[in-house]
Amino acid sequence: MPKKKPSRRGAAPRPAAPRSPLRTGGRALGDLQVPFRRFLEADVDEADGDWMSPGDVEARLMESLGWLLLAQGEEVAPSSATTFDPDELGDLFETVLPDVAEANDLDLAELREEVATAWMSYLEFLGESGSWRGPDEQLADCLDVVAADVDGGAGQGVLDELAGAVAAVTLDEELAALRAVPVAAPEEVGPGEPAPKVTPEQERAAARSRLVAWLVEQVAGPAGEGGGTVGGLAVLVAAVLQRPLTTEQLGPVVASDRGGSLDAALDLVDRLVAGGVLSGSEPWTTPAGLGPAVAASVRAFLDDDEEDQPAPTD
């Protein structure tokens, strides 16, 4: 007689296969995936240039959405990614991403910047396409959470790059460059007044301080003028990092800035050229010796911008 097959009733259950973040996020995106991809192809590619392709943005969004949903431990409904709470997005950046980065040996700053870029695009898509299913104020709060992370991560990354680029600038090299910039020169002493005696180090510190103050003033712009800050800073930073920009390359940078204006950015560039900080021809370059002053001005501007932000309320 054939042997009776053993009953599976008492067998230990098989462990459930771990859910894929990419598939989980894709399930939540559902029917919105195709229109979102079209939105990216029409908008993100023009705005961000080679930073992240539409495919990269889409993949980062679905993966990070999956990380968030899996961390929440809730069942995922198809096509349910139409409304979010600002607190859960804050949790994504402050708790979930650090855990993911540590577990997978990823650079956290780079990961946060990529995820923030993807979420900024998706939230804008939800709003512009009418797919957002929550209050308008809630969408605005979500955008603020993501935008703060984009600005903070990108700002620190720029400062780190600048610090590395100017580390090798010597005292003599910086002094020579500063002496060639009129706005960094000391005020002339009055008739009959002796010129103060200073060491080369004191001269450099004073000249750099004057140039930094002038640069911050130029970047801030005249009263009532706006829209050129991001573009102008981008030109300065690119020049120091020896990746100088042209007007054609500056266009996409300005386009990625809300309220940005290419004309305003070029007006700021003209002022920097007139001040002797940037070259008069494209691509715009700057002497290596001015790198420390440019780096200090970028840091000062970013610090001032953070101080201008309203304090959080309970």
Query: Average pLDDT for residues 294-298, to the nearest whole number?
Result: 88
Please indicate whether residue 177 or residue 129 has the higher confidence score (pLDDT): 177
Domain spans in the chain, listed from the N-terminal domain onward: 21-162, 168-186+199-307
pLDDT tens digits for 88-108? 998 998 889 989 988 888 888
CA 208, CA 188: separation in Å to the nearest integer? 17
pLDDT tens digits for 111-125? 888 898 899 889 888
What average pLDDT does the structure give for the chain?
A: 79
The residue type found at 34 is: V
Please indicate whether residue 222 or residue 76 has the higher confidence score (pLDDT): 76
CA 209, CA 296: separation in Å to the nearest integer? 9
Q: What is the pLDDT of residue 105?
A: 87
Which residue in 208, 217, 146 sits closest to 179, CA to CA? Answer: 208
Q: What is the pLDDT of residue 15?
A: 38
pTM of the model: 0.51
Q: What is the pLDDT of residue 117?
A: 86
C-alpha distance from residue 128 to each of 121, 124, 229, 234, 244 (Å): 10, 6, 26, 28, 34
Please say whether the beta carbons of 167 and 288 come within 8 A: no
pLDDT tops 80 at residue 244: yes
